[in-house]
Structure 1
Amino acid sequence: MVTPSLSSSSHVFRDMFNVVHIDEKWFYLSRSSKRYYLVPGENEPLRACKSKKFITKVIFLAAVARPRYDTSGNEVFSGKIGIFPLTPLEPAKRSSKNRVAGTMETKPILSVTKDVTRAWLIEKVLPAIRAKWPQGHSGPIFIQQDNAKPHISVNDSEFLEASSQEGFDIRLRFQPPNSPDLNVLDLEILKVRGGNEYRIPHIGKGRLEREGNLPPQIECDQNLIDEMHFVTEM
């Protein structure tokens, strides 16, 4: 994500305006124990499950991009592509006191596979990107994913066919192997080679933004890049 600079010894991180970051997160529908404060006469909240040892989990897929602003500082694109629960609808097989057979029920996905990932990318993420992406954009849009096993290949034929529709050029991209989960403001961690002596400096982003001087890209010293290359090659 670093772009070499020809005019100085410091490089800059790419602006990443054309990158959509996706990731999954599991959530429990409830906890085995919770505390409630009730007023006199108030009924306790209804909580029911088959067993407290097997509380249902639901996985969500989130997709975000970098927000954009016009020259006056007004937000023109929030960067919020969407949050999609991986919960398909299935007809009930049998009748019960709660519903009749055939009623569509929301079911959690207990195991995420490549087929599930492919379906949600094609049916949920791609349409959301096309609907919300700022007009006038040119060039490819990259969907950045980590190296989890359920993620599909960047050359997946079904995804490539769906991603090139309506004039868009949307591509998948994997995170580099063994890449630390850092952002561009964590350069101090690299300077101390991953030790706990780092101190994240305050660059005054709020003040710079109010003054209209907030840089769209952060610089990175060439010496630090060379040193990290040397460490990783050892």
Structure 2
Amino acid sequence: MYDPHRKQHWDGKVGIWYFTEQYAAKRRSKNRAKGDICTRNIDTVDRTVYKNYLLTKVFPAIKEKWPRKDRGQVIFVQQDNAKPHVPPSEPDIVAAGTEGGWNIRIWCQAPNSPDLNCLDLGVFASMQSLQHRLPRKGIEALIASVEEAYRDMKTDTVDNIFLSLQACMLEILRQKGGNLYKTPHLGKAKLRRAKLLPVSLSCSRDLYEAAIVLLRAASRGSALLFDSSSI
């Protein structure tokens, strides 16, 4: 994605964060002196911790890195349905997401749908393969290794993952919300070499309207589960 304000292409990466905390070592060991600042995992990642990360790390990073020309467009931050995750209508989240003319929203991943998660669809596998080339011991070294793998992940890889996500979305629509389909293979490398790789995949009007009919039927007279007019 080209950012005309910065006059450069944006690689699509927002950031990566760790649920860790720092502490002073209470005693000396062979690896550190007493009083050295060390890193450890946060014991409990509850809703308070998670919400704080969204407000102080994720949302600010989006606003810093996202191309300004798209500031008014809807930006979804997808989460699964784990207990610590916040409701999309959480007032503090809504306020932070709309501050400054932005339209950042929380979006919950559909259950039993790993193909709707870019991390599961390819980010984790790509980073893991890079990280394994840099074996290190200790939590600080592990963090450094993950950061390096994240930094080295190519823009083409990010593009491929999002195209795969869109292809899976189309298959789910064709399956009327089901997940009994084979992961689509688009031949992205071949299309890229031929300079025919699309920026995004389109959905036919018939498929879109059929999906809306299904959603309205599923709502059974209550509020529509997915309000297309708000996007």
Of residues 164, 167, 170, the one that matches 1:185 is 167
Report which of the two has the higher share of strand: 1
Question: Please, which runs of 5 or more residues in structure 2 have no aligned partner?
Answer: 116-164, 219-231
Question: 2:65: which partner in 1?
Answer: 132
Of residues 57, 63, 87, the one that matches 2:20 is 87
CA distance in 2: counterparts of 1:70 and 1:170, whole angstroms: 18
CA distance in 2: counterparts of 1:207 and 1:158, whole angstroms: 43
Deviation at 1:89, TM superposition (A): 1.3
Are 1:147 and 1:174, in contact at CA under 8 Å, matched by a contact in 2?
no
Question: 1:218: which partner in 2?
Answer: 202
CA distance in 2: counterparts of 1:181 and 1:209, whole angstroms: 29
Query: Is the alpha carbon distance of 1:194 and 1:169 closer, same or farther for their aligned partners in structure 2, counting shifts above 3 Å?
Result: closer
Structure 1 residue 143 corresponds to structure 2 residue 47: no
Matches within 5 A, 1:88-127: 88-92=21-25, 94-97=26-29, 98-101=32-35, 103-127=36-60
- Return the letter of the residue paired with 1:81: V
Cα distance per residue 1:179-207 (max 9 Å; x no partner): 623332134466465446x4735466743
Are 2:51 and 2:86, in contact at CA under 8 Å, matched by a contact in 1?
yes
Higher relative contact order (CA closer than 8 Å, sequence separation 6+): 1
Are 1:145 and 1:172, in contact at CA under 8 Å, matched by a contact in 2?
no
How many residue pairs get matched? 160
Query: Is the alpha carbon distance of 1:229 and 1:203 closer, same or farther for their aligned partners in structure 2, counting shifts above 3 Å?
Result: farther
Query: Is the alpha carbon distance of 1:190 and 1:169 closer, same or farther for their aligned partners in structure 2, counting shifts above 3 Å?
Result: closer
* Bigger Rg, structure 1 or 2: 1
- Return the letter of the residue paired with 1:226: A
Cα distance per residue 1:102-128 (max 9 Å; x no partner): x32211123321111112112221222
Q: Which moved more, 1:174-183 or 1:128-137?
A: 174-183
CA distance in 1: counterparts of 2:33 and 2:95, whole angstroms: 40
Q: CA RMSD in A?
A: 3.8
Question: Please, which runs of 5 or more residues in structure 1 have no aligned partner?
Answer: 1-67
Report the TM-score when normalising by structure 1. 0.52
Query: Is the alpha carbon distance of 1:212 and 1:160 closer, same or farther for their aligned partners in structure 2, counting shifts above 3 Å?
Result: same
CA distance in 1: counterparts of 2:59 and 2:2, whole angstroms: 23
- Return the letter of the residue paired with 1:147: N
Deviation at 1:87, TM superposition (A): 0.9
Question: 1:20: which partner in 2?
Answer: none
Question: 2:221: which partner in 1?
Answer: none
Question: 1:76: which partner in 2?
Answer: 9
Identity %: 24
Q: Which moved more, 1:116-125 or 1:131-140?
A: 131-140
Deviation at 1:129, TM superposition (A): 1.5
- Return the letter of the residue paired with 2:214: H
CA distance in 1: counterparts of 2:16 and 2:77, whole angstroms: 15
Cα distance per residue 1:36-75 (max 9 Å; x no partner): xxxxxxxxxxxxxxxxxxxxxxxxxxxxxxxx1489xx97
Question: 1:229: which partner in 2?
Answer: 214
Query: Is the alpha carbon distance of 1:70 and 1:155 closer, same or farther for their aligned partners in structure 2, counting shifts above 3 Å?
Result: closer
